[in-house]
Structure 1
Amino acid sequence: MSGQRFLVRKAAVLGAGVMGAQIAAHLVNANIETLLFELPGDAGNPNANVIKAVEKLKKQEPAPLSVKTKAACIQAANYEQYLELLKDCDLVIEAIAERMDWKRDLYVKVAPHLGEHTIFASNTSGLSINQLAEAFPETLRHRFCGIHFFNPPRYMHLVELIPCQTSDGGMLDHLEEFLVTNLGKGVIRAKDTPNFIANRIGVFSLLATMHHGRAFDFGFDMVDALTGSLIGRPKSATFRTADVVGLDTLAHVINTMRDTLPDDPWHRYFAAPDWLQGLIQAGALGEKVKRGVYQKIKNEIHVFDLAAQTYRLSAAEVDEDLKRLLKYSSPAEKFAALRNSQEPQAQFLWSIFRDLFHYCAVQLETIADNARDLDLAVRWGFGWNQGPFEIWQAAGWKQIAGWIQEDIAAGKSMSLAPLPQWVMTIADSESPGVHSAQGSFAPASGKPQLRSTLPVYQRQLFPDRLIGESAVYGETIFETDAVRLWHTGDRIAILSFKSKMHTIGIDVLEGVQQAIKEAEQNWRALVIWQTEPPFSAGANLQKATEKPKADAQQSGVPVAPPAPPKPPTAFQSFLKKLRKSTQETVLHVARELDLADVLMAKKLAEVEGMIKQFQQTSQRLRYSMIPTVAAVDGLALGGGCEFVMHCDRAVATLESYIGLVETGVGLLPAGGGCKEFAMRAAQNAKDGDPFSQLKYYFQTVAMAELGKSAEQAKELGYLRSADTVVMHRFELLHVAKAQALALAEAGYRPPLRMREIPVAGNTGIATIQSQLVNMREGGFISEHDNLIANKVAHVMCGGDLTPGSLVDEDWFLELERAAFMELLATEKTQARIEYTLKTGKPLRN
Structure 2
Amino acid sequence: MKRFTVRKVAVLGAGVMGAQIAAHLVNVRVPVVLFDLPAKPESGPKNGIVLKAVENLKKMKPAPLGVPEDAAFIEPANYDDDLGKLAECDLVIEAIAERMDWKVDLYKRIAGAVAPHAILASNTSGLSITALSQALPEEIRARFCGIHFFNPPRYMALVELIAAPTTDATIIDQLETFVTTSLGKSVVRAKDTPNFIANRVGIAGMLATMKEAENFGLTYDVVDDLTGKKLGRASSGTFRTADVVGLDTMAHVIRTLQDNLGPDKSNDPFYASYATPAALTTLMNAGALGQKTGAGFYKKVGKDILRFDAAKGDYVPGGGKADEIVARILKKPSAERLKLLHDSTNPQAQFLWAILRDGFHYAAVHLADIAESARDVDFAMRWGFGLQQGPFELWQSAGWKQVAEWVKADIDAGKALSSAPLPGWVFDGPVAENGGVHSAQGSWSAAESRWVAPSPLPVYERQRFRESLAGAGAPNPLESGTEVYRNADIRVWTLDGEVLIASITSKLHLISPAVTEGLAKAIELAESDYQGLVIWSPDDVFSAGANLEALMPVFMKSGAAGIAPEVKKLQDAMLRMRYASVPVVAALRGIALGGGCEVAIHAARRVAAMESYMGFVEVGVGLIPAGGGLAYVARRAAESAAAGGANTDLFPFLKEPFTSAAMAKVGTSALENRKLGYLLPSDVIVAHKDELLHVAIGEAKAMAAAGYRPPLRVRFPVAGRTAIATIKAQLANLRDGGFASKHDYEVSSRIADTLCGGDVDGGSLVTEEYVMALERKHFCELLTHPKTQERIMGMLQTGKPVRN
| TM-score normalized by the length of structure 1 | 0.92
SS in structure 1 of the partner of residue 541 of structure 2: coil
1:672 aligns with 2:628: yes
Which of 812, 826, 835 is the matching residue for 2:785?
Answer: 826
- For 1:573-584, what aligned pairs fall within 5 Å after superposition? none
1:732 aligns with 2:684: no
The one-letter code of the counterpart of 2:679 is L
Give the match for residue 367 of structure 1: 370
Q: Counterparts of 2:23 and 2:389 in 1: how far apart (Å)?
A: 29
Shift of 1:426: 4.5
1:722 aligns with 2:722: no
Give the match for residue 314 of structure 1: 318
> After superposition, what is the alpha-carbon deviation per residue over 1:578-616, rounded to whole angstroms, capped at 9, x for unaligned?
xxxxxxxxxxxxxxxx85x66666632222221111101
SS in structure 2 of the partner of residue 295 of structure 1: strand
1:761 aligns with 2:761: no
> After superposition, what is the alpha-carbon deviation per residue over 1:500-547, rounded to whole angstroms, capped at 9, x for unaligned?
00000011111111111111111111000002220000011332xxxx
SS in structure 2 of the partner of residue 249 of structure 1: helix
Give the match for residue 498 of structure 2: 491
Shift of 1:431: 2.4
Give the match for residue 636 of structure 1: 592
Shift of 1:841: 4.4
SS in structure 1 of the partner of residue 608 of structure 2: strand
Identify if the C-alpha distance between structure 1 residues 254 and 598 changes in structure 2 by more than 3 Å, giving closer, same or farther.
Answer: farther
Q: Counterparts of 1:514 and 1:426 in 2: how far apart (Å)?
A: 52
- For 1:375-394, what aligned pairs fall within 5 Å after superposition? 375-394=378-397
Shift of 1:780: 2.2
Q: Is the 8 A contact 2:555 2:562 kept in 1?
A: no
Out of 56-65 and 316-325, give the one that drifted further.
316-325
Q: Counterparts of 2:303 and 2:556 in 1: how far apart (Å)?
A: 35
Give the match for residue 569 of structure 1: none
Give the match for residue 5 of structure 1: 3
1:21 aligns with 2:9: no
Identify if the C-alpha distance between structure 1 residues 667 and 707 changes in structure 2 by more than 3 Å, giving closer, same or farther.
Answer: same
The one-letter code of the counterpart of 2:286 is A
Shift of 1:119: 0.9
Give the match for residue 291 of structure 2: 287
Give the match for residue 547 of structure 2: 540
> After superposition, what is the alpha-carbon deviation per residue over 1:314-342, rounded to whole angstroms, capped at 9, x for unaligned?
1312222222222223x222212211111
| TM-score normalized by the length of structure 2 | 0.96
Shift of 1:116: 1.5
Give the match for residue 536 of structure 2: 529
SS in structure 1 of the partner of residue 444 of structure 2: strand
Give the match for residue 482 of structure 2: 475
Gaps spanning 5+ residues in structure 2: where? none
The one-letter code of the counterpart of 2:533 is L
Out of 364-373 and 512-521, give the one that drifted further.
512-521
Give the match for residue 92 of structure 2: 92
Q: Counterparts of 2:394 and 2:120 in 1: how far apart (Å)?
A: 37
1:357 aligns with 2:360: yes
Give the match for residue 710 of structure 2: 750
Give the match for residue 658 of structure 1: 614
- For 1:53-452, what aligned pairs fall within 5 Å after superposition? 53-262=53-262, 263-329=267-333, 331-426=334-429, 429-452=432-455
Shift of 1:442: 1.2
Q: Counterparts of 1:784 and 1:643 in 2: how far apart (Å)?
A: 27
Shift of 1:388: 0.3
Shift of 1:419: 1.1
The one-letter code of the counterpart of 2:104 is R
The one-letter code of the counterpart of 1:373 is D
Shift of 1:831: 1.9
SS in structure 2 of the partner of residue 302 of structure 1: strand
The one-letter code of the counterpart of 2:645 is D
Which runs of 4 or more aligned residues in structure 1 lie more than 6 Å from their structure 2 counterparts after TM superposition?
none
Out of 797-806 and 36-45, give the one that drifted further.
36-45
SS in structure 2 of the partner of residue 535 of structure 1: strand
> After superposition, what is the alpha-carbon deviation per residue over 1:794-826, rounded to whole angstroms, capped at 9, x for unaligned?
100111111111111111011111111122221
The one-letter code of the counterpart of 2:32 is T
SS in structure 2 of the partner of residue 396 of structure 1: helix
Q: Is the 8 A contact 2:401 2:432 kept in 1?
A: no
The one-letter code of the counterpart of 2:671 is E
Q: Counterparts of 2:275 and 2:87 in 1: how far apart (Å)?
A: 43
Out of 779-788 and 527-536, give the one that drifted further.
779-788
Give the match for residue 564 of structure 2: 608
Q: Is the 8 A contact 2:225 2:237 kept in 1?
A: yes
Which of 735, 741, 754 is the matching residue for 1:776?
Answer: 735
SS in structure 1 of the partner of residue 614 of structure 2: strand
Q: Counterparts of 2:503 and 2:798 in 1: how far apart (Å)?
A: 31
1:704 aligns with 2:664: yes
Identify if the C-alpha distance between structure 1 residues 60 and 183 changes in structure 2 by more than 3 Å, giving closer, same or farther.
Answer: same
Q: Counterparts of 1:105 and 1:42 in 2: how far apart (Å)?
A: 20
Q: Is the 8 A contact 2:400 2:432 kept in 1?
A: no
Which of 643, 647, 652 is the matching residue for 2:603?
Answer: 647
SS in structure 2 of the partner of residue 105 of structure 1: helix
Q: Counterparts of 1:138 and 1:838 in 2: how far apart (Å)?
A: 65
Q: Is the 8 A contact 2:560 2:781 kept in 1?
A: no
> After superposition, what is the alpha-carbon deviation per residue over 1:774-796, rounded to whole angstroms, capped at 9, x for unaligned?
33332322222222221111100
SS in structure 2 of the partner of residue 722 of structure 1: coil
Q: Counterparts of 2:9 and 2:561 in 1: how far apart (Å)?
A: 59
The one-letter code of the counterpart of 1:522 is D
Q: Counterparts of 1:427 and 1:334 in 2: how far apart (Å)?
A: 26
The one-letter code of the counterpart of 1:318 is A
Q: Counterparts of 1:797 and 1:125 in 2: how far apart (Å)?
A: 55
Which of 768, 772, 776 is the matching residue for 1:809?
Answer: 768
Q: Is the 8 A contact 2:431 2:437 kept in 1?
A: no
Q: Counterparts of 2:209 and 2:48 in 1: how far apart (Å)?
A: 42
The one-letter code of the counterpart of 1:784 is H
> After superposition, what is the alpha-carbon deviation per residue over 1:713-770, rounded to whole angstroms, capped at 9, x for unaligned?
000011111111000001010000000111111112211111x211111122122123
Q: Is the 8 A contact 2:431 2:444 kept in 1?
A: no
SS in structure 2 of the partner of residue 538 of structure 1: coil
Q: Is the 8 A contact 1:398 1:428 kept in 2?
A: no
Q: Counterparts of 2:592 and 2:277 in 1: how far apart (Å)?
A: 45
Identify if the C-alpha distance between structure 1 residues 131 and 428 changes in structure 2 by more than 3 Å, giving closer, same or farther.
Answer: closer
SS in structure 2 of the partner of residue 705 of structure 1: coil
SS in structure 1 of the partner of residue 353 of structure 2: helix
Q: Is the 8 A contact 2:587 2:692 kept in 1?
A: yes
Shift of 1:368: 0.3
Instruction: Determine what percentage of the aligned residue pairs are the same residue.
Output: 53
Which of 501, 519, 526 is the matching residue for 1:512?
Answer: 519
- For 1:543-582, what aligned pairs fall within 5 Å after superposition? 543=550
SS in structure 2 of the partner of residue 397 of structure 1: helix
Shift of 1:126: 0.0
SS in structure 1 of the partner of residue 32 of structure 2: strand
SS in structure 2 of the partner of residue 174 of structure 1: helix
> After superposition, what is the alpha-carbon deviation per residue over 1:521-579, rounded to whole angstroms, capped at 9, x for unaligned?
11111000002220000011332xxxxxxxxxxxxxxxxxxxxxxxxxxxxxxxxxxxx
Q: Counterparts of 1:319 and 1:786 in 2: how far apart (Å)?
A: 43
> After superposition, what is the alpha-carbon deviation per residue over 1:374-412, rounded to whole angstroms, capped at 9, x for unaligned?
100110000100000000001111111111111111111
1:466 aligns with 2:508: no
Shift of 1:490: 4.1
Shift of 1:491: 1.0
SS in structure 1 of the partner of residue 624 of structure 2: coil
Q: Counterparts of 1:598 and 1:265 in 2: how far apart (Å)?
A: 65
